[in-house]
Every structure is written in structure tokens, then in C-alpha cells.
Structure 1
Amino acid sequence: MKRLFLIAMCGALAACSGGDHEDLKQWMEESAKDMRGNIPKLPEVLPYQPVPYDVEALLDPFKPSKIEPESKSRQGGGKGGAFQPDFEARELRNSLLEKYPVESLKMIGYLNVNKQPLAVIQVEDKVKQVKVGDYIGLDFGMVTKITDKDVELRELIQDSAGDWSERKSSLFLQSKEGSKK
């Protein structure tokens, strides 16, 4: 019975597909009459012209002396610019606050002792007082001004060419208003 039904269905489908579908073919021809394919031409391919790569006069960005600070032996060689720091004086000072970046230091207080402003600086669990002229931070930051709201610094930074320049930055008083509940 199933075979008979299957044979009848195949026959019915074959009978339906036997037509030429003239009306469909005519509609397709009328619709495609005005259509034309328009493909833009490819751009002209120019021949390869090599460019000379002359780097003899440029600085080598991978030279270790351009990445690391200049050593003490090269300090007096006339290179480094007018703002070249004194590395030996830094070692003699051996200040705790010069061993941490400015970003990790917090100004937590302000004092005025004998008309001399002092800032209270915290790093990790240690607290130190600084005055104008003291050094803090890794970039030879010298305290230039202390107010009740911030500490202004003059830092010395080295660029990729090995020259030193000044940069001004500030360390702001950290308030504890956000922690009160």
C-alpha cells in the first residue's frame, strides 16, 4: 500500500512539472529587458617602485641608552640638556619618598610650623613631612610650593633623545569625606 501511494505521488509531481511555464519565462524576459549589468573597471595597477630606507641619520629607538636613564659615567659629557639631574646627590639623600612614584604618594595633611608650610605625605604605611625644597618621586620631583590643598612639584624627565626637561605636577590633598557613613 505504501509503495502504491509513493508511486502515485511521484507520478503526480512529475505531471505538475511537465509544463513549460511560458508565462513565468515571459515575465522574466520583460523584467530583464531594461536591466544592464554595470561593473566598474578595475583601477590601473602601477608598477612597484621601491623606496630607499635610509636610517643612518636617525636615532635608534632600540638602543639601550635611549630607554634607560643615562649612567653616571656619561653625566658630564655635555649631553642631556640644561636640566640634567644630579644622580650622586640623589643617592646621598637616600630619601624614602624618592623611592616611590608620585602616583603612589598621598598628601594627607597640611601643617604650618613657624610660618613654614609643611605637607604630610603618606606612602604605604609610612608618613613623612616635606617642606619646600625637598625631593619626592622617582622623577627627581622637587617641592616648589605647598598650600593647604596641594603640593606643587617640578620634575625632571628624560625624552627619547636623551635630553632632560622640566614637567610641573601636583599632589592634591586626599579628603576622607567619601569614607564617612
Structure 2
Amino acid sequence: MKKIKTMISLSLMTLALSACQGNGLSELQQEVQKIKDSTPTGIKELPPVIPYEPFTYSAVDLRSPFAELDPEFETRLLQIEEGCETDIQPDPNRRKFDLERFGLDALQYVGLISNKREHRGLIKIESGDSAGVIQPIHVGEYIGLNDGKVLKIDNDQITIEAIVPNSKGCWEKRPQYLVLGQ
């Protein structure tokens, strides 16, 4: 019985190996040749190089938008033009708070501490020498570069009222927000 099984398995293997020979191999060789013929052999030519033309900065004599205002220009901004509301203007004699040294883009609202009397917002400084420092802020304190007064502290945002110059030479109040986590 063992010999019969061995004979049958040998004859099946011979039959399987003989099936591999035939037209299938020639079709495969034709397909490979077709792929080789359609494959490009050269490299595309590089596009022409455009010569570099240096840019000449012509606003050297203008004030940098990142620098503080010079005192003379700031005094002119504080003057009230005719037709402006006189009660809307920054108070130059007001004591400045620590967080007024930073623009709102350099500050992040990271949390809220509450007790029965008040909410305190936690502000993280993102840039400068104080980067990473977290400071509390109360309603009524000032924050940012535009005399922004904190009006309301909520769980998800701090509402600020900033005093900014408009195009008429007057001052106007604009709401600004520090959103939690942004």
C-alpha cells in the first residue's frame, strides 16, 4: 500500500511539473518584452534655470511695525480730533500692568480659578524672556498692547475691550477675545 501511495504521488508531481511547460511561459515572455519596450530609457531634460534677481528693500527709512512708537508720534495719536468722542481715549497716566507688555498673540488663556467672589483667568506668556510663565488676571485689569481692559472671564474665553485708533484720528473701543487653549 505504501508503494502505491508513493507511485501515485510521484506521478502527480511529474504531471504538475510537465504542466508548467507550454504556451503560458511564452505569453509571459512576450508580456515582459512589451513592458521593456514601453519603458523610457532616457532622462527628461531639466527646465531652464531662471537667474536670481535680488530684491532691494526700499522701506529702510520707515518705522518698523514691531518697534514701539516714538514718544512724539504717540503724543500726536493721543490728541483728540474734532468730532471724536472725548471720553474714548487711552489714559497715558494710568499704571501699566505686567501683561500689557505683550501682544494678545503672545498670550494664551490656559485656565480659570474661581471662588465665591470672583473668577481669575490664567494667562500663559508664549514669547520673550517670560515665556512659559503663567499669571492670573482679574476683571478690570488691563492686558495687551492696546489698553485692553478685561470685561469678563468665562470658562472658555476672556472678553477684552481694547482702545484702538481709527482712520479718522479718533479712538474707538473694540472687543477682543482670548479663547481657552488658542
TM-score of the two chains, using structure 2 as the length reference: 0.51
Quickly say closer, same or farther: Cα 1:125–1:79, change in 2 above 3 A: farther
> Which secondary structure does the structure 1 equivalent of 2:74 belong to?
coil
2:161 paired residue number: 154
Cα distance in 1 for residues equivalent to 2:175 and 2:136:
20
- TM-superposed CA distance for 1:77, in Å, is 8.2
Quickly say closer, same or farther: Cα 1:165–1:115, change in 2 above 3 A: same
Residue 150 of structure 2 corresponds to residue 143 of structure 1 = yes
Contact 1:107 1:172 in 2 (8 A): yes
Contact 1:70 1:162 in 2 (8 A): no
Residue 172 of structure 2 corresponds to residue 170 of structure 1 = no
Residue 119 of structure 2 corresponds to residue 114 of structure 1 = no
- TM-superposed CA distance for 1:130, in Å, is 0.6
1:131 paired residue number: 138
Quickly say closer, same or farther: Cα 1:122–1:80, change in 2 above 3 A: farther
- TM-superposed CA distance for 1:162, in Å, is 1.7
2:26 paired residue number: none
Deviations 1:29-62 (A, max 9, x none): xxxxxxxxxxxxxxxxxxxxxxxxxxxxxxxxxx
2:88 paired residue number: 83
Contact 1:79 1:162 in 2 (8 A): no
Quickly say closer, same or farther: Cα 1:113–1:167, change in 2 above 3 A: same
Residue 92 of structure 2 corresponds to residue 101 of structure 1 = no
Deviations 1:67-105 (A, max 9, x none): x43359x6478785331110111xxx2322001111111
> Which secondary structure does the structure 2 equivalent of 1:70 belong to?
helix
Identity of counterpart residues, as a percentage?
Answer: 25
Deviations 1:126-172 (A, max 9, x none): 21111110100000100001111100000000023320001001101
For structure 2, list consecutive stretches of 5 or more residues without a partner in the other structure.
Answer: 1-68, 126-130
Read off the aligned partner of 2:74 and give its amino acid letter: P
Quickly say closer, same or farther: Cα 1:165–1:76, change in 2 above 3 A: closer
Quickly say closer, same or farther: Cα 1:163–1:77, change in 2 above 3 A: closer
Alignment match of 1:69 (pick from 50, 70, 74): 74
Q: What do you get for the CA RMSD once the two structures are aligned?
A: 3.0
Read off the aligned partner of 1:111 and give its amino acid letter: I
TM-score of the two chains, using structure 1 as the length reference: 0.51
For structure 1, list consecutive stretches of 5 or more residues without a partner in the other structure.
Answer: 1-63, 176-181
- TM-superposed CA distance for 1:114, in Å, is 3.1
2:53 paired residue number: none
